[in-house]
Amino acid sequence: MTEYAKFERFSIKDNHELNEKWVQDHIAKDPTILGIGDVILKDKERFQPKAGRLDLLLQDADASHRFEVEVQLGSTDESHIIRVIEYWDIERKRYPQYDHTAVIVAENVTARFLNVISLFNGTIPLVAIQMSAFRLGEQVGLVFTTILDQITLGLDDGEEEQEVTDRAYWEKRGSQKTLELADSLLRIVHKLDADLELKYNKFYIGLSKNGLTCNFAVFRPKKKFIRLEPRLKKSSERQERLEDAGLDVMDYDDNWGRYRIRLFPEDLKNHANVIAEVLEEAYKEASA
């Protein structure tokens, strides 16, 4: 029988044995504990000309995306906001071939901080993560919770939805065989909502219900395959599950918040269950 254990939450800032460097070291050993994806340590205490040192520079293991991470004990304050944005700006100018996101990790992400960040989040891609420390006997653990996820401005399905096409357009751009894959995906979606229909737009085939856009997943038929793009939060566990199932998972689209999965006709036969699970997860996230 599983035994219940009571964990004691405490402040690292008020602790005499632990400090900010201790936190940095543990994140550096396993950066995935932050919950921002399958990231690896690129650099630690990275020197910034005339601007001090960046706590941690992380990089996505499978994509050209870097994260400038600043750790703060206690509550967020103005100096750390300025610092993490300054480091982000320096790094993106030095290495423009990468996408960059500023990440601030603090024990207490205050309402004032969120109000300030909300004024420009999207223009400056920034993630705020609240860190909680727990003790059980002589053991100490850290839990990281994303309080503010990255918001990207200027991305609107509606803009592309205005350029409506038809099935013939996509049969020419893709093929009849890959349009049949779109039909197969729609049949899977119908198990979630029988009123959903395919909507043929210029850049992708979306979904609609009673004339209203419902793009929790979009489809992009090619000549030999179709690309399924469910809108889901990035998760290393989900990525691993899809890859273990044998699906061809491409780079995650951070701008649109979508997974990109290349599907061939045999995938709809061999991996129908996991494809149905992914579509259901995207449907539920969109409905939440």
Residue pLDDT, tens place only, 273-288: 999 999 999 999 988 7
- Which tokens belong to 271? 């991996």
Across residues 32-54, what is the average pLDDT?
89
Name the pLDDT band for 60 (thresholds 50, 70, 90): confident
Phi and psi at residue 94, in whole multiples of 5°? -75, -35
pTM exceeds 0.95 for this model: no
* 31 has a pLDDT exceeding 90: yes
Residue pLDDT, tens place only, 98-128: 889 999 999 999 888 887 777 765 678 889 9
C-alpha distance across the termini of the chain, in Å: 34
Of 111-120, 129-138, 172-181, 267-276, give the lowest mean pLDDT range. 111-120
* 42 has a pLDDT exceeding 80: yes
Q: What pLDDT sits at residue 150?
A: 67
Residue pLDDT, tens place only, 196-243: 999 999 889 999 998 888 999 999 999 999 999 999 988 888 888 999
Higher confidence at residue 163 or residue 264?
Answer: 264
* 81 has a pLDDT exceeding 60: yes
Domains, the chain, ranges and CATH?
8-148 (3.40.1350.10), 157-287 (3.90.1150.20)
Q: How far is CA 76 from the centre of its chain?
A: 23
* 262 has a pLDDT exceeding 80: yes
Q: What is the mean pLDDT of the chain?
A: 88
Q: What pLDDT sits at residue 153?
A: 45
- Name every residue whose Cβ is closer than 8 Å to that of residue 143 and which is 6 or more positions away in sequence: 131, 132, 134
Q: By C-alpha distance, which of 161, 153, 88 is closest to 120?
A: 153
Q: By C-alpha distance, which of 49, 48, 50 is closest to 70?
A: 48
Count of positions (residues) in the chain: 288
